[in-house]
Structure 1
């Protein structure tokens, strides 16, 4: 089985017990201590009221996904955290929001201007390396020892896996409780049934299915309205990806590549790493996308859909037939059924490559990185906040006991799933900076407790099965990469633009020559050579 590396793809789940890195939730093992509104955990000492509160500003992603227009900073859990942090840790907490799609750009601006919040968040370990090398981050070893004992107890495996640079800790990585998660392919089963077709197992079969969706309009919405493959811009939209289809084309994840480009990173051939953009398989895949674009089989607006709004509309309106995304099939089915009652999204197992093998990435033990910029005046306050969060971890995992869930046989069983969707599910995982989920993949019996809808277990069992059967994750490069620090930002931006142009180009071959020419001029070969050398170092350890 090939090794893969993917930093930061998190799976959005349906119920609050599955609170993960995405706006949804993810299952995993963890403590089952209860926390109710107005109560605290027993271990927490009361704050000294005579001391002036320390202020701490905390980054918070805003996905613009509120079901009723509520601002994330006005949500009930945010208000509770602010009140309890003041009461228990003497911290005055301000949450600073930034659009999820602008993570890297906004973070770079913050760091350059010295105006970053006291805790900034990213999945990009190379960014941490870069900021650390430039002296832009606080060293956290002593601070964590002094102010973060509960953090260490909660997420020790992730601390062992990531967050250090040249032997010094600069990041506090969230612990992924459920590793059977990540982006995956889904398809409209109701459309397949109407056409008498099976889910595709190869890229060639995908083309046949997409063409049938377009030409035969199984949803009865008008051929001109059918979006066979819903696809947003090839950037940080964090909505739709190219992982599954590109693995089917033979592009692997044999090295880290460009972190913010959400597709397989590249292939290791005879010991030499080649980024996806510089492989025959990569060219073949983008020629395939170019063909689909010309035939109207992918979203015509994908280049400009940088925030994934059109992508979301295509899904929820029932226009889309196939996606590669980090939402699970039950969530997608539930959302689409608001417009199309018979809609049913199901998991598509990894496509078979030419040699018959199947593979997909699943997430590593470590996830989101919490960093404290050097511009922070009181770094101890930032660590104190994360320690406060560790003590109250059940709240940002599952909400409030008795209000959002009850504990049954060690499971946090939702009381009212629909209420939770409106009240907490859409943002809870983004408040959880220390764990992603709270338990491992549930059994079918547990699924029926977590959600009594029998279709939940039906749709989710194959979803988990694919990661268990085909998923893997490679060892991340944990040493300095000066070439990547110098060139990755420009290479990533270039790749976004160049690959998009190639997909919509009238003359693909001519445009692909331009793609490679620009890649080489910006240092693509040097970027790949550094990865080659670092992978060799890892293998020699």
Structure 2
């Protein structure tokens, strides 16, 4: 990482303040869409020159509370945006959950959409294909703030590619933190050391450790009551984000990516659950389950955390931010010491299915008079969410973020965890002055220093920073990044996907638990294809081709 990167948030805070106070911030020679721009015109990337009103509708979190007197249309977030941008949002309607989805689908089908709104990927693609969206290509070039562009650059342009349809930027995409995808194998190091075990590198090593944890009384209570690898009733689901107790990390050791659309050996986009690599991984899980190395009750568990917290298990797959659950384990057993590992495939390579870099998009209705307003709104929202605008620090962020004018989505550096880790490391080593840290990092630094002086005396301090140390260093290792090629929903999926998912889940559980032979996987594949899978695969491939033209 370049030396200046560690100070990026501090620098961008100053850049933001300068951009807001300068008479001519964000100078550009590009013209911008329908933004009524002229060559060499200097624009304000954070505020419309005159007040305007924009229509929208949004989904809000069911049951989310607002302070007395505030409404979905008039609250601290809408007032903040109005003050910053000169934009008033007229809320045509709002709803929650399934009601929102139903009303949104009706609006899209009847081409009755507002000026600006925040939509999921499926809705984005439908609107783009129907020609209902404004091209924001030139608007982005001219109006995107330095911080906004810095965030998108951190994705290696993948976020902008996600929002591009037939060569045109048709939306302003969110940005997901990519570290959230990594599935670590968390192992109780104190148990490994007691039993003389080596750190795991392969799936066979997982089996070796699990066998020892089951048979050799690692907790020293004189009973054979410990279990091996944890699991739960959704252990085969893999949306990209790592979750506790699923088998994502083990599947990746076989280059298998079930429940995702990936390229096969011929370069065709296919459903990962139907590939030979998935069968191979299921075979290993079946073998481990039969040997008693996987929790026998995993298929009926809604939550396997208690097995870890109570000290019954010291082996689970989970995300980098597992420190909360581990801290609870410390409370019960102060000697518990978990360490994260990445598991390699047969070639010694580490693989990871990444989180979709973007899955929500700010879109503008085709023909809207001021499409630049969407970019101006996004710049301010991002500055507030990343807390680089000092005025944003006055907001009460405990109020549900769905009450922002068009709803909530994450806009962060794709490598945010690694960046914060570097800042913390430099501050703790003295290479960076603590007062140079932004408020979030200064708080993390203070917790780290208190914990360093009195290790684990306050587990709240420990869990508040530790994820940015050892786990973050593991994240910095070289690994093969795999992206799901398609994360939206096709027409046939809407009708048949629920049944196909049920078919898949039942087949996988029966194979792993020994109710069906491993070769029943082949019948699952043929049934999946016959019951709509082939049709859906063609739709996915056609949609990807259409979007790339």
* TM-score relative to the length of structure 2: 0.62
Q: Deviations over 1:179-228 (max 9, x none)?
A: 56622213132443444333322222212323443445645798668573
Tell me, yes or no, if structure 1 residue 278 matches structure 2 residue 274. yes
> In the TM superposition, what is the alpha-carbon distance from 1:245 to its structure 2 partner?
0.8
Q: Deviations over 1:289-346 (max 9, x none)?
A: 34555647247355674xxxx2455555655533433343445533544555444432
Note if contact 1:34-1:400 (Cα within 8 Å) is conserved in structure 2.
Answer: yes
| Residue 468 of structure 1, aligned match among 461, 472, 476 | 476
> In the TM superposition, what is the alpha-carbon distance from 1:360 to its structure 2 partner?
2.6
Tell me, yes or no, if structure 1 residue 322 matches structure 2 residue 319. no
Work out the CA distance in 2 between the residues paired with 1:399 and 1:291.
52
Match of 1:164 in 2: 164
Larger relative contact order (Cα-Cα within 8 Å, sequence gap ≥ 6): 1
Note if contact 1:186-1:348 (Cα within 8 Å) is conserved in structure 2.
Answer: yes
Distance 1:121 1:379, change over 3 A: same
Work out the CA distance in 2 between the residues paired with 1:180 and 1:153.
20
Match of 1:415 in 2: none
Match of 1:20 in 2: none
Distance 1:268 1:340, change over 3 A: same
Note if contact 1:316-1:336 (Cα within 8 Å) is conserved in structure 2.
Answer: yes
Match of 2:107 in 1: 114
Within 5 Å, which residues of 2 pair with 1:424-463? 431=408, 433-436=410-413, 441=419, 442-443=421-422, 445-446=425-426, 448=428, 450=441, 451=445, 452=448, 453-454=451-452, 460-463=468-471
Within 5 Å, which residues of 2 pair with 1:387-536? 387-398=376-387, 431=408, 433-436=410-413, 441=419, 442-443=421-422, 445-446=425-426, 448=428, 450=441, 451=445, 452=448, 453-454=451-452, 460-473=468-481, 485-489=490-494, 493-494=498-499, 496-505=501-510, 506-509=515-518, 511-525=520-534
Tell me, yes or no, if structure 1 residue 229 matches structure 2 residue 230. yes
Note if contact 1:215-1:223 (Cα within 8 Å) is conserved in structure 2.
Answer: yes
Note if contact 1:230-1:314 (Cα within 8 Å) is conserved in structure 2.
Answer: no
Work out the CA distance in 2 between the residues paired with 1:217 and 1:113.
60
Tell me, yes or no, if structure 1 residue 138 matches structure 2 residue 133. yes
Query: Aligned pairs, how many?
Result: 456
Tell me, yes or no, if structure 1 residue 356 matches structure 2 residue 348. yes
Work out the CA distance in 1 between the residues paired with 2:281 and 2:523.
16
Match of 1:173 in 2: 173
Q: Helix, strand or coil: the match of 1:473? A: strand
Tell me, yes or no, if structure 1 residue 81 matches structure 2 residue 80. no
Distance 1:284 1:160, change over 3 A: closer
Work out the CA distance in 1 between the residues paired with 2:307 and 2:480.
31
Question: Which piece of structure 1 moves more, 157-166 or 87-96?
Answer: 87-96
Work out the CA distance in 1 between the residues paired with 2:519 and 2:125.
37
Q: Helix, strand or coil: the match of 2:349? A: coil
Match of 2:88 in 1: 91
> In the TM superposition, what is the alpha-carbon distance from 1:119 to its structure 2 partner?
3.1
Tell me, yes or no, if structure 1 residue 345 matches structure 2 residue 338. yes
| Residue 124 of structure 2, aligned match among 125, 128, 152 | 128
> In the TM superposition, what is the alpha-carbon distance from 1:84 to its structure 2 partner?
0.7
Note if contact 1:229-1:299 (Cα within 8 Å) is conserved in structure 2.
Answer: no
Note if contact 1:286-1:503 (Cα within 8 Å) is conserved in structure 2.
Answer: yes
Work out the CA distance in 2 between the residues paired with 1:202 and 1:187.
14
* TM-score relative to the length of structure 1: 0.63
> In the TM superposition, what is the alpha-carbon distance from 1:282 to its structure 2 partner?
0.9
Q: Helix, strand or coil: the match of 1:228? A: coil
Tell me, yes or no, if structure 1 residue 209 matches structure 2 residue 209. yes
